[in-house]
Amino acid sequence: MFCEKIDLYKYFSFKKAEGAQGYLNVYLPEAPDYPSRVRPAMLVIAGGGYGFVSPREKECVALAYIAKGFAAFTLEYSVAPVTYPAQLLEGAMALAYIRKNAERLGVKPDKVAAIGFSAGGHLAGMLGTLFNATEIKAALGKDAVLSRPDAVILSYPVVSSGDKAHRGSFINLCGNNEKLIKALSLEKCVKADASPAFIWTTVNDNCVPSENSLLIASAYKAAGVPFELHIFESGVHGLSLATEETAWVNKPVQKWLPLSVTWLKERGFILND
């Protein structure tokens, strides 16, 4: 396996705020420059309430998608006290980097997906809905068109800043800017050009209420954007792969991974010779 770490701010010659991260970790089954097969790509965005980046939702998820025929990438994005729009810009830079280097990396530039967990799901959701944001256009210029994911997987995502909010995530992302907190409530951001979404959660999530997934699914339906929603009967927050290596074993919930791969394959995310 080939691995490398990219400083996205350095690559795009974009000034980094004090304390910002913005690193992309590359995981390829074979060396770049001489790929024997062309793969779809998966950008993995771990959760952590915008206060940290959870290792349980990072490399292990990337490896799981590599085993399913993907090239995988993980994003080390900025967390509090660094606030919006750094996180959105870092995700946009990551997607643009993957597409700009698609030939070298052996990936399909039109089959680049992003998966996010919890607050990482909020960031993936922002990438899938706010790719036309003025902040992205100002930072990336002509490369801004490369920042829309072709699909997103939202895993027990933070979505709403309303009654069912995970308030801590929004405070970490936005500070005390109530206007921005309301603007980044994702169920209000879905438009007809949003990225198709695979959404999953558990009924009794004890941290981010499952209503968050219901709200964004309803917004997708209203906008006429393809989506698939799975709500498992039982499971705590932060299950990741729901295997022993990710702390909590939940065999019914483990089905989300193959279900997401099937959904992606139906959208053309397949491994080519």
Q: What is the CATH number of domain 2-266?
A: 3.40.50.1820
The two tokens of residue 242 are 């729901």
Instruction: Output the pTM of the full model.
Output: 0.97
The 10 Å Cβ neighbour count of residue 4 is: 11
* Cβ neighbours of residue 153 closer than 8 Å, sequence gap 6 or more: 113, 114, 115, 116, 124, 197, 198, 199, 200, 260
Q: Comparing 10-24, 25-39, 153-167, which segment has the lowest mean pLDDT?
A: 25-39
List of long-range contacts for 79-83, beta carbons under 8 Å, 24+ apart: 79/21, 79/48, 79/50, 79/51, 79/52, 79/53, 79/172, 80/50, 80/51, 80/171, 80/172, 80/173, 81/19, 82/17, 82/18, 82/19, 82/20, 82/21, 83/172, 83/173, 83/174, 83/175
For residue 76, pLDDT beyond 70? yes
CB 69 within 8 Å of CB 39: yes
Enclosing H/E stretch for 135: helix 134-140
Q: What is the pLDDT of residues 23-71, one digit of tens each?
A: 999 999 887 766 678 999 999 999 999 999 999 999 999 999 999 999 9
For residue 1, pLDDT beyond 90? no
Q: What is the pLDDT of residues 188-223, one digit of tens each?
A: 999 999 999 999 999 999 999 999 999 999 999 999
